């Protein structure tokens, strides 16, 4: 079930009996497209993915090569995924120098900024307006600001 927070951020949760890739019509391993809280028995004690954010302005174009999904990952990593036009990896980077786990992902309504909150209390604000639109990226997006919550 999807839960909507007051910040217009969606976090997807999938029951074990459903295969998210198949639900979206995307071929490939379901663990690449799902919150692994439902796949913990495959991933061990450190789930690889616990947060997702869909880039709605990009997901509407089914023939696009642009990234349309952001997920967190192990070691504080963030991954941008292309879901349509041949599903695959677009970019992977670690916003925190200390490799702190990203605990929340939110994007602005027009998918211009991504807010990546980590477990050390920092929010990394990334400019993603043009990021991953033309395919794979070799560098992380430009970070506009890093704010400590303490």
Residue 101 is predicted with a pLDDT of 92
Domain that holds residue 33: 2-148
- DSSP assignment of the chain equals -EEE-TTS-EEE---TT--HHHHHT--S-GGGTS-GGGSHHHHTTS-S---EEE-HHHHT-TT--S--EEEE-GGG-EEEEE-SSS-EEEEEE---TT-PPEEEEEE-TTS-EEEEEETTSEEEEEE-SSTTSSS--SSPPEEEEEEE--
Q: pTM of the predicted model, to two decimals? A: 0.68
Number of domains in the chain: 1
Residue 37 is predicted with a pLDDT of 36
Q: Encode the chain (150 residues) as per-residue pLDDT tens digits.
A: 344 334 443 434 433 333 334 333 444 443 333 333 333 333 444 567 899 999 999 987 777 889 999 999 999 999 999 998 788 999 999 998 889 999 999 999 999 999 999 998 899 999 999 999 999 999 999 986 566 655
């Amino acid at each position: 079930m999807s839960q909507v927070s007051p910040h217009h951020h969606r976090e997807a949760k999938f029951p074990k009996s459903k295969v998210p890739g198949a639900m979206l019509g995307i071929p490939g391993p379901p663990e690449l497209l799902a919150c692994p809280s439902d796949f913990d028995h495959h991933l061990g004690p450190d789930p690889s993915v616990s947060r997702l954010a869909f880039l709605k302005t990009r997901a509407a174009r089914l023939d696009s090569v642009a990234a349309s999904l952001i997920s967190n990952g192990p070691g504080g990593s963030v991954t941008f995924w292309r879901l349509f036009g041949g599903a695959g990896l677009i970019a992977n980077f670690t916003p925190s120098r200390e490799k702190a786990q990203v605990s929340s992902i939110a994007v602005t309504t027009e998918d211009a900024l991504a807010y990546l909150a980590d477990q050390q209390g920092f929010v990394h604000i990334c400019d993603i307006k043009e990021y991953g639109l033309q395919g794979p990226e070799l560098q992380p997006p430009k970070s506009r600001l890093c704010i400590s919550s303490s």
